[in-house]
Structure 1
Amino acid sequence: MFDHVQHRVVQAPTAGTSTPDLAVAVCNAGGLGFVALGALDATGAGKAIRAVRQGTDRAFGVNLFCHAPARRDPAQEAAWIDSLRPAFGRFGAVPPTTLTEIYPSFRGNDAMLQVLLAERPAIVGCHFGLPVPDQVAALKGAGCRLWATATSVAEGQAIVDAGFDAIVAQGWEAGGHRGIFDPDGPDPMTDHAALVRALLPLGLPVVAAGAIMDRTAARAAMGAGAVAVQCGTAFLRAPEAATSAPHRAALSGGQTVMTRAISGRPARCLCNDFTAIDGAGAADYPVAYDIGKALNAAALAQGHAGYGAFWAGTGAADSVARPAADTVLAISP
């Protein structure tokens, strides 16, 4: 799996901030780059994959969201909209009257599957759950290696049972959306090192993810049994990343919290005005993200950046502004 990778550093597929240029830079530096497809349609996904191929002849991965369809509850959605009305009012705006399911799941998305079968990326990674069996069989038949995120041993076992090739052990300290299959289920909140050790008996290679910001942390993860480390926050200040200027500036503060308020799913974000909102009553993912983006747009229109989805892990303050290639070399164990 890592036969052609010089440095066992995987660039996390952080939707919204990862770019083809970032994946290219990581691959050409000897790491393993990923391009996030979860927020793209099939046409956009094909363009992103081809953009990476134009920049590198090395293997890279793509990542997809495999969440269950949103549980639409008109009363809950109306209450969530109403709860955010005062925040919109701060900026002379009103919230939308209805919400939409802005990010389709890969499950049942035949157009996206056809793009992957045509492009055949080396690795297809999955977050929030697993594809349906027919999709798994088709991707394996196309020669793609399959990875999936686990936050628990039970999820790891499901990944094994589905015939996948590797498990990404997402520790509680990791930034961005928690990969938990059932966002309302129990969460062991395990750090990445302990989770790696717990997953190893399942027999698949395990990639460690969660606040791995330097070589010392990478070596510790490898010492716990990981075959590689996956880093997202460490690349947020790279010039090749699409991280916004306010997001980059907020990283130096370093304080993060797990919240549902922004998207409806638990996700680790830098503390800001949005994370101060109680997300317990949020609409389901990704419906809640629809209004979250609308609120951020209303705030930005008035010059206020405090409602951004500034995803980051607990190591945010240790992120460094440097080219992605330099980060690969600095972290490589």
Structure 2
Amino acid sequence: MTNFTTSAAFMDRFGISLPILQSPMAGVSTPEMAAAVSNAGGLGALGVGAATVTQAEQMLRQAAILTDGPININVFCHEPAVQDLARENMWLQRLAPVFHKYDANPPQKLHEIYTSFCVDADMQAMVLAQSPAVVSFHFGIPPQAVISALRAAGILLLATATSLAEARMLEAAGLDAIVAQGWEAGGHRGVFDPTAKDARLETMTLVRELVAGVELPVIAAGGLMAGSDIAQAIASGAVAAQLGTAFIACPESSADDGYRAALQANDLQTEMVSVISGRPARCLRNRFTEWAAEIDGELIPDYPIAYDAGKALNVAAKQAGEMGYGAQWAGQGAASTRAVPVADLMRLLEAELAEAK
């Protein structure tokens, strides 16, 4: 276990010059984005939880061409889904009227579209072979043997925690740092057990609780959009800040036109919903989140089986010209996104951080 008690020590160990980490954002982050963040002195990231092994390896190789800086590879460590055909058929029936609205039919059957890193031996082998500077875990952590193998390869390890109890599990597992994901964060809530009670702690409250309760360095995440937010996180005891939504509007992002347009809406709001993927995730308010208000949560299939239906509905709606069924993940600070190249955004963040100190 490695303890970095200060922001400067953390940055030195991770090979970065700014206390800014880009959130992995599976489906939005690109090698170009990650490389630009790392080239600017931060820690760029690639979310490969939704990628095949081949796709993930290609992303890693492309990022390595674009930067000599460190890259963080993020993987999903959820419990493998439990198939429940009765529930899944009920879910498809519930969604059928929405599909029909866009002259489409729901899938006949749903599938577990993402394999958890915990049981994906091929992905584990590829990550070890490529040996990125940093690997981060979301939804939990893999078996101890996998953690030990990654550490033996010299890879630094991060993981998301939404509570002190989860943070202590990460500390016991021998990780290098903890990403404290506050309730304001966009995208999937990183809770280890989605059926357990969630305290829904705000980012700075969670940071202070983890700093007081564990010895590992803490990285703040959730609702952070500007250099002043990074300064507040560090003042609260974090060694760095992880920003995700702040990068979505950048041209290096793979967000589609509907996603980008939604970020510019005058009445922009976010909602925490489970209907899109089967796990709680913060999304821009759109057609899908409006429909979610009618749904009994117990009907929703396991993650990521439910996501199979969500993605199919998004495709059907987009083909009919409706962009409001996408997984438009975004944190509560989404109204403050800046549509500038990553390099420019990093310069802005650095200047704002310096001014706020």
> Given the two structures, how large is their TM-score scaled by the length of structure 1?
0.98
2:284 maps to 270
User: What's the offset of the Cα at 1:184?
Assistant: 1.1
The Cα of 1:240 is off from its aligned counterpart by 0.7
Structure 1 residues 82-106: Cα deviation after superposition (integer angstroms, max 9, x where no partner): 1101100101111011100001000
Question: Which string of whole-angstrom CA distances, capped at 9 and with x for unpartnered residues, describes residues 19-54 of structure 1?
Answer: 000001101111110011101121111111111110
- Work out whether 1:234 is the aligned partner of 2:254: no
**Unmatched 5+ residue regions in structure 2?**
1-9
Residue range with higher mean Cα deviation, 275-284 or 21-30 = 275-284
Report the secondary structure of 1:40's partner residue.
coil
**Which residue is 1:261 aligned to?**
275
Q: Secondary structure at the match of 1:61?
A: strand
Alignment of 1:88-127 (within 5 A): 88-127=99-138
- Segments of structure 1 that go 5 or more residues without pairing to the other structure are none
2:306 is equivalent to residue 288 of structure 1: yes
- Aligned partner of residue 208 in structure 1, secondary structure: strand
State yes or no: 1:224 paired with 2:236.
yes
**Identity level (%):** 48
Indicate the structure with greater helix content: 2
Partner of 1:9: 20
Task: Name whichever of 206-215 and 36-45 sits farther off.
Answer: 36-45
- The SS at the match of 2:255 is coil
Match of 1:7, as an amino acid?
A: L
Structure 1 residue 264, shift from structure 2 partner = 0.4
TM-score, L = length of structure 2: 0.92
Among 289, 294, 306, the residue aligned to 2:324? 306
SS at match of 1:18: coil
CA distance in 1, matches of 2:348, 2:22: 13
Partner of 1:52: 63
- Aligned to 1:322, which of 337, 340, 344? 340
How far apart in 1 are the matches of 2:19 and 2:68?
Answer: 18
Distance in 2, Cα, partners of 1:286 & 1:139: 25
Question: Structure 2 CA distance, aligned partners of 1:134 and 1:68?
Answer: 17
1:243 lines up with 2:252 in the alignment: no
Contact 1:156 1:167 in 2 (8 A): yes
Q: Distance in 1 between matches of 2:98 and 2:152?
A: 49
**Cα drift, residue 330 of structure 1:** 2.0
Secondary structure at the aligned position of 2:289 is classed as: coil
Contact 1:252 1:316 in 2 (8 A): no
Pick from 93, 96, 114 the counterpart of residue 82 of structure 1. Answer: 93
- Structure 1 CA distance for aligned equivalents of residues 107 and 198 of structure 2: 32
Per-residue CA distance 1:99-141 (angstroms, 9 max, x = gap) = 0000100012111111111111111000011011111011001
- 2:333 maps to amino acid: G
State the Cα distance separating 1:277 from its structure 2 match. Answer: 2.2
Aligned residue type for 2:262: A
Q: Could you tell me whether the CA contact under 8 Å between 1:7 and 1:328 is conserved in 2? A: no
What are the residue-to-residue correspondences of 1:57-76 with 2, within 5 Å?
Answer: 57-76=68-87
